[in-house]
């Protein structure tokens, strides 16, 4: 029989070997994981501008084809970097952690925000990335604005763990299609955001319906999360939007 000392030494060696193998595997897989995250991010930006036929295989190519400029703006709405070179994934705007930057805002610290300029069918579109909190975790997405920096061309949303059949429906066309043609400013230039309305926009005055969409039935907390995300993120971009409208 093996002694207790032998068993302990053997177990310790196996643990060390297993840890080393796992660590090596993680290091080898990290570039592929980061690439997949980047491809997913590109796809969401492009999809908000209704770029067709996006796949994992062509997302990088389409991103570099359609995105003509990546802008970094500060809290005052000033452009601190404009990137127009090839390999758009190398831009500072693309690498910015929106969650971290929005957190800085809550603490009253200087922050920076990314903005993507897309040329499509002789139109200039501006894509604003979104980040917020749903019922069970983070929610995120992208909003494409027309060159008036007011009218919504398209949106995409995603989530980490919202309830299937309820809050998870934020990714579905019946929800996102409502945003097309809505406006984030009123006729007087006042910021309105987009309200996600429980009970439907039929409950709103006629003048407010252009600034609202129907909430998801049974997904009240997630709908509220989308509502708050839109207001808080778009408000962060207001200094830039007001300067360039």
Please state, rounded to an integer, the average pLDDT across all residues of the chain. Answer: 91
Nearest to 176 by CA among 209, 129, 141: 141
pTM: 0.87
SS3 181: coil
What pairs with residue 138 in β-bridges? 133
Q: How far apart are CA 82 and CA 147, in angstroms?
A: 17
User: Residue 220's pLDDT is what?
Assistant: 95
Res 189: pLDDT:
95
Q: Which backbone phi and psi does 214 adopt, to 5 degrees?
A: -75, 135
Task: Indicate if the pLDDT at residue 5 is higher than 90.
Answer: no
Question: For 54-78, what is each residue's pLDDT tens digit?
Answer: 999 999 999 999 999 999 999 999 9
Count CB atoms within 10 A of the CB of residue 40: 13
- Enumerate the domain spans of the chain: 68-244
Among residues of the chain, what percentage have pLDDT more than 70? 87
Concatenated DSSP letters for 30-68?
A: HHHHHHHHHHHHHHHHHHHTT-SS--TTTHHHHHHHHEE
- Distance between alpha carbon 195 and the CA centroid of its chain, in Å? 18
State how far the Cα of 222 lies from the Cα of 168, in Å rounded to an integer: 8
Which residue would you say has higher pLDDT here, 5 or 25?
5
Segment 221-245, tens digit of pLDDT: 999 999 999 999 999 999 999 999 8
**Taking residues 81-103, what's their average pLDDT?**
95
């Amino acid at each position: 029989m093996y002694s207790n000392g032998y068993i302990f030494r053997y177990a310790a060696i196996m643990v060390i070997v297993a840890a080393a193998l796992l660590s090596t595997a993680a290091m080898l897989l990290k570039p592929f994981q980061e690439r997949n995250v980047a491809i997913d991010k590109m796809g969401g930006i492009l999809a908000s501008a209704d770029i067709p036929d996006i796949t994992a295989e062509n997302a990088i190519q389409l991103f570099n084809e359609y995105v003509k400029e990546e802008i970094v703006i500060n809290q005052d709405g000033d452009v601190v970097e404009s990137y127009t070179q090839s390999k758009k994934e190398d831009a500072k705007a693309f690498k910015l952690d929106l969650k971290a930057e929005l957190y800085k805002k809550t603490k009253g610290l200087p922050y920076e925000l990314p903005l993507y300029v897309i040329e499509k069918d002789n139109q200039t579109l501006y894509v604003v990335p979104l980040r917020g909190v749903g019922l069970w975790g983070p929610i995120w997405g992208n909003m494409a604005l027309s060159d008036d920096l007011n009218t919504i061309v398209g949106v995409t949303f995603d989530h980490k763990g919202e309830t299937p059949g309820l809050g998870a429906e934020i990714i579905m066309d019946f929800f996102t299609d409502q945003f097309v043609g809505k406006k984030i400013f009123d006729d007087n230039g006042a910021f309105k955001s987009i309200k996600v309305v429980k009970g439907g926009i039929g409950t709103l005055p006629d003048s407010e319906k252009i600034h609202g969409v129907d909430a998801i039935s049974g997904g009240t907390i997630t709908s509220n999360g989308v509502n708050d995300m839109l207001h808080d993120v778009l408000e962060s971009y207001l200094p830039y939007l007001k300067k360039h409208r």
